Amino acid sequence: MSPPAVRSWATAGPLRLVAQEAPRGEPKALACYGLLVRAPDADGAPTEEAWLRFVDGRPRGILTTAFLDWCCAKLAAAARTALVLIWDNASWHLSREVRRWLGEHNRRAHREGGVRIVPCFLPVKSPWLNPIEPKWTHGQRRIVEPARLLTAREVEERVRAALGCAVHDHLAIPHEVA
């Protein structure tokens, strides 16, 4: 049986990306922390907003806690009292350092007031259960350029444009730890 004779806009095969080496002066790795915030607006209608912070290098526990601290400050300014995190099992989510920080943060928030964090870990290999995963996937598809290697700045600009996010400084390891 032969395939149907139909026209399509697809190219003659799947798109293949090839690993390329970063040019001098560019970071070898660029990570992006993101939080999908779902909350009602002033009229009670549901809204959705993505908060992003980039990191030169790979994600680490100390950067994860810095990101969570930044998110809690933004949520506290919006009079929110809890952050429910739906997390996969990435090593920077499960690290001893992050778990210790979460415990200390929640005890402090309970004692002094503030935003409590409730982590909800997903089963292994189940990204479809995490509401931000489709955002990452669609964002990656919108920014990819197979013909050339994008600079870190171009990647950041395209990711922000694809997800409609504001520009924020890169996360850095706090000075007292570095």
Within 10 Å of residue 50's Cβ, how many Cβ atoms? Answer: 19
Closest Cα partner for 88 from 58, 120, 65, 60? Answer: 120
Q: For 65-107, write each residue's pLDDT tens digit.
A: 999 999 999 999 999 999 999 888 888 888 999 999 999 999 9
**50 in Cβ contact with 161 (< 8 Å):** no
Alpha-carbon distances, residue 70 vs 1, 11, 51, 76, 81 (angstroms): 59, 43, 10, 10, 14
Domain ranges of the chain: 60-163
Q: For all residues of the chain together, what is the average pLDDT?
A: 85
* Amino acid 12: pLDDT: 57
Closest Cα partner for 56 from 24, 86, 27, 36? Answer: 27
pTM given for the model: 0.80
* Amino acid 168: pLDDT: 92
Q: For 114-136, write each residue's pLDDT tens digit.
A: 999 999 988 877 877 878 888 88
pLDDT higher at 37 or 135: 37
Closest Cα partner for 34 from 67, 77, 62, 83? Answer: 67
* Amino acid 8: pLDDT: 56
* Amino acid 55: pLDDT: 92
pLDDT at 9 over 70: no
For the four alpha carbons of 164, 167, 173 and 174, in that order, the dihedral sign comes to negative
